[in-house]
Amino acid sequence: MSKKVVVLGSINVDTTYHVERFPQPGETISAKSKSSAPGGKGANQAVAAARSGAKTAFIGAVGSDSEGQYMLEALKDNGIDVHHVTIDKYHGTGTAAVTLDAEGQNDIMIYGGANKAMTPDMVDDIDDVLDDADFLISQFETPQEVALAAFKKAKEHNVTTILNPAPAHEIIPDLLKVTDVIAPNESECALLTGIPVTDEDSMMKSAEYFQKQGVKHLLITLGSKGVFYATPNDHGLVPAFKVHAVDTTAAGDTFIGALSSQLEDDLSNVADALVYAQRASSLTVQEMGAMPSIPTADKVKAALAEK
């Protein structure tokens, strides 16, 4: 049976500038090309879940502008329920300016707009999408207070909550108390815990830190080294797939969304789900653009069969 995933998060229109290298401070360089595409961490994660077969609903906000209409259509084109996307008359749709170098690395500047203007009362009426949901995902491109209100509601519906603390900020303690799974990358994990991620021992100490805050499950994405996971009963490292990356923009978002489409509520299949999510992410980085590069379940399964 397909998983039902609800994503609370950001919606951005991404404009990517393709450059040979990043500019130095005060330097002006020429971009080789420019492209625009739908994006935002929340929207990317929702699309990744939907393309991997999950029944997906979105909670967010866009402006009453052409970019907002564009993003709503992009989400609906991927079969995502947008009934809980608010149209903000006072703030514009979020945008992101992405600088992408020849090695596939990126710098990103974000205008939050309607994303940052979200308020907790916007999740007062989300019970209908939580009634039969398996997971609720949120990130930090929308206010933490909104995620806290939504996660509290999720707990009332016995929905498993997944927090992707990116971009990393100090976390409201009460939010961790209603978070079941936290999924930072290694730098975010170190920033949040104060423990540098250097080896298995440091990652287990990070898991203990989060468990003391109320989070039972930790996933640390380690780039080319794979993903470390720790649950109350198990821990391990799932290796990454070796590929040539041309654009890493939506790699982490693809990982989170694809994972949610495969994961059991109790995380009993976490290792297998992580393999799937890693493979999906490895396909994303081999294509240009954020949302356009996110693979379908068929593509991920075909790639897994190739090994």
Q: Which of 65, 134, 247, 253 is catalytic?
A: 253
Q: Give the 3-state secondary structure of 105-151.
A: CEEEEEECCCCCCCCHHHHCCCHHHHCCCCEEEECCCCCHHHHHHHH
Pairing of strands 81-88, 160-163: unpaired
- Phi/psi class of residue 32: alpha, beta or left (left: φ > 0; alpha: ψ in -120 to 50)? alpha
- As a whole number of angstroms, the distance between CA 290 and CA 277 comes to 16
- The amino acid at 156: E
- As a whole number of angstroms, the distance between CA 307 and CA 305 comes to 5
Measured at the alpha carbon of residue 225, what is the angle toward residues 228 and 229, in degrees to the nearest 5?
A: 5
Closest to 108 measured CA to CA, from 94, 93, 97: 97
Q: CB atoms < 10 A from the CB of 209, how many?
A: 16
Say if CB 226 and CB 264 are below 8 A apart: no
- As a whole number of angstroms, the distance between CA 48 and CA 281 comes to 9
- As a whole number of angstroms, the distance between CA 166 and CA 274 comes to 19
Q: Is 88 a catalytic residue?
A: no
The residues that are catalytic are: 253
